[in-house]
Structure 1
Amino acid sequence: MHKHPLFPAITAVLALVAFPGVLPVAHYPALATQVTQDKPSPETREHEFGDAFVVSLGGKLYDNYWAGSGAEPPAMKNPAFPSDLTVSDTDSWRCVSCHGWDYDGAQKTDGSPQQQKQFVGLRHLQGTDPFNMLELFTRAHPDQRALASGGLPLDLLLLFLTVGQYDPVNFKPEKSSSEKNLSRGRDIFEGVCMSCHDPNGKSGFQVRPGMRGSLGWQARHQPERMIHKIINGVPGESMLALRFMDEPAIADLVAYLKTLDPDAD
C-alpha cells in the first residue's frame, strides 16, 4: 500500500483514542469501539496501527459516516439527493448513496437505474493528496456541515478516497474462475468467515430491504457492495476488515461466495 505522510498523524491519534482518559472516547465513540474490537489495546503509547487498519476505518465511514463515527446525522434529507430515488433521510447523506460501492457514480454506464442518477465518480481521487481535499470536499458538499467541520473522521474518509479504493481490474470474473482460485476462496471463507456466517453463508448479518439473507445471493447480485465490505469491514460492527490481504485473494473469496446457496436466486 502506498505510504502517505498522513498515516503517522492519524495512527498517533488512533493510539490515543484507544486510551480512555488521554483522548475522551466520547468524541468518536463508534471509531473508538472499532479500534478496540479490531485491534487489541496497545501496551504502550508508541503503538501505531497498521496502514491497512487505518484506511479500512475510512472505508467504513464512506459506507456510513454516521454509524462509523457515532455523529448525529442531519435531521433532514440531503437536498442534493435525487428526489425521485427513495432512501431514508440518513442514507441520503451516505457517500455510497451518491457515488456507489465501486466509487464510479453515474460514470458507470451499465450500472443500475439508481447509480445512473448518482453523482460524479471518485476514481480520479485515488493517488491524490488528502491534505488538499478538505477545501474541495467542503466546496462540493455545502450542505454537509456535520462533515465539513473536519476532525479525525473526515481525515480518515479523505485518506480512504485517496489511497484506499480497490482496483476493479483484480475483480473481473475471469480472474477468479479456475478451480484453483475457487479452492483458495473456499479456504479463506472457512478460515475467516464461516464461524460467523455458517457454511452456507446464511447467518451473521443484517438484511436491508431488497436484499436476500444469503452471502451467495449478495455476491452474485451486489458484488461491488460485498467487495467494499470485505475489504473495509462493516461500520458499527465487529466484522474483520480484510484489507491486509491482497486483492486477488479477496477476489477468489468473492468468487467462492458466488457459489453458495444457489437456490436463493
Structure 2
Amino acid sequence: MRLFSLSFSAIVVTALVAGAAGQLEASEAENHDYSHGEEAQMFVHGAPENPTDAWTLAAGGRIYDNWWVALDRDEPEGTHPSYPATGKKDGSTTWRCKECHGWDYLGAEGVYRSGSHFTGIKGISEAIGMDEAEIATTMRAPTHGFTAEMISDEELARLAAFVSRGQIDMANYVDLATREIIAGDPDSGRAIFQTTCAVCHGFDGRSLDWGDEDGPAYVGTEAVAAPDEVMNKILNAHPGVEMINLRVFGPDVAGDVLSYIATLPQE
C-alpha cells in the first residue's frame, strides 16, 4: 500500500486544527455556508503572517470555488455581465469562477461540456504556468470584472497563483466522460480519513448532511455524484468552513481520500 510521507505528529496537528473550534454547525448564516465562532474567523477568512506556498494555492482554490464566501464579502447581486445568455444559471452563482470554467478547469471541454452548467466558455488550463501578474490583470479587466472591493490585490494574487500553479490534471483521477473515480488507494485514504477528516464528518461520513427533503447528501453521496468537485474541496477545503485541506500533500494523497470516501454510505 502506498503511504504518503507524513509524520505522526503532523497528522495529529492537522486533526487538531480541524477540531479546535468545535464541531461545524449545519445551519446557514449570512454570507457563510456554516456558522462559526469569532475565534475561528482568522482560520476561515484570514491569512497567516508568513503564508506558505501550499496555503496560498489552497486559499486561491477556495476563491475559485466561491470568492465571496471564502473572503467574507457581500454576495454579488444579479447575473454576471459576461455570463452567456444561452446559459442556464442566473444570479450570484454566475460570479463563481468554477461556474464557467468547471471543477476540472476545462470549461466546455470537460465535465461542463453539457448539462445545466454548460456555457460554451473554455477552461483555464491554458493559463498553467502563465505569469501571475498577467492573470491578475485579466481578472480585473471587464470580462471578469472583479473590483478591488470584491477581491483585494493581495487576495487576487492568491487566485492568480492557483490558476497558474494550483491546477491538477483531473483526468488522472476522474473519468471526465462518466464522472467516475478511476484512481486512488482506498486503504491509504481510509487511514487519512479516519485520523483527520472524521473529526467533523464522522467515521461513516454521515455527521454532516447537505441534503434536503428529497434525501440526504453525505460526504459519500457527494464523492460519488461529483468527484471532481469533492477533489477540489479535499485539496483546498470548502470556503467559509473550519475545514482542513490536503494541498501540501499533493493530489495523489487527495485522490486516495476521494477513492475511500466514495465507499462510505450514501444514504
Could you state the TM-score of these two structures normalised by the residue count of structure 1? 0.73
Distance 2:159 2:253 in 1: 25
Cα drift, residue 156 of structure 1: 1.1
Distance 1:87 1:110 in 2: 13
Bigger relative CO (Cα 8 Å, ≥ 6 apart): 2
Distance 2:214 2:147 in 1: 31
Conserved? CA contact 2:109–2:122, under 8 Å: yes
Equivalence for 1:192? 196
Aligned residue identity for 2:121: F
Partner deviation per Cα, 1:82-136 (whole Å, 9 max, x = no partner): 3454545221111111111111111227744134324210011111110122332
Match of 2:264 among 251, 254, 260: 260
**Structure 2 spans left out of the alignment, 5+ residues:** 1-35, 175-180
Cα pair distance change 1:208/1:237, threshold 3 Å: farther
Equivalence for 1:126? 128
Distance 2:124 2:40 in 1: 25
Match of 1:62 among 58, 61, 64: 64
Distance 2:77 2:213 in 1: 22
Equivalence for 1:175? 183
Taking the TM superposition and a 5 Å limit, the aligned residue runs for 1:46-195 are: 48-83=50-85, 85-87=87-89, 89-108=91-110, 111-139=113-141, 141=143, 143-145=145-147, 150-172=152-174, 173-176=181-184, 181-195=185-199
Match of 2:249 among 245, 250, 261: 245
Aligned residue identity for 1:105: G
Conserved? CA contact 1:53–1:241, under 8 Å: no
Taking the TM superposition and a 5 Å limit, the aligned residue runs for 1:5-16 are: none
The answer to which of 248-257 and 113-122 deviates more is: 113-122
Cα pair distance change 1:39/1:70, threshold 3 Å: closer
Conserved? CA contact 2:45–2:70, under 8 Å: no
Match of 1:218 among 222, 228, 236: 222
Aligned residue identity for 1:216: G
Q: Which runs of 4+ in 1 moved over 6 A?
A: 32-35, 38-42, 208-211
Distance 1:141 1:152 in 2: 20
Distance 1:39 1:109 in 2: 29
Conserved? CA contact 1:105–1:115, under 8 Å: no
Distance 2:128 2:212 in 1: 29
What secondary structure does 1:203 align onto?
Answer: coil
The answer to which of 33-42 and 216-225 deviates more is: 33-42
Conserved? CA contact 1:230–1:242, under 8 Å: yes
Partner deviation per Cα, 1:198-239 (whole Å, 9 max, x = no partner): 122122364589984211111111011100111001111111
Conserved? CA contact 1:108–1:115, under 8 Å: no
Conserved? CA contact 2:234–2:246, under 8 Å: yes
Equivalence for 1:8? none
The answer to which of 167-176 and 144-153 deviates more is: 144-153
Conserved? CA contact 2:104–2:111, under 8 Å: no
Name the structure where helix makes up a greater proportion of residues: 1
Equivalence for 2:43? 37
Could you state the TM-score of these two structures normalised by the residue count of structure 2? 0.72
Q: CA RMSD in A?
A: 3.2
Identity of counterpart residues, as a percentage? Answer: 26
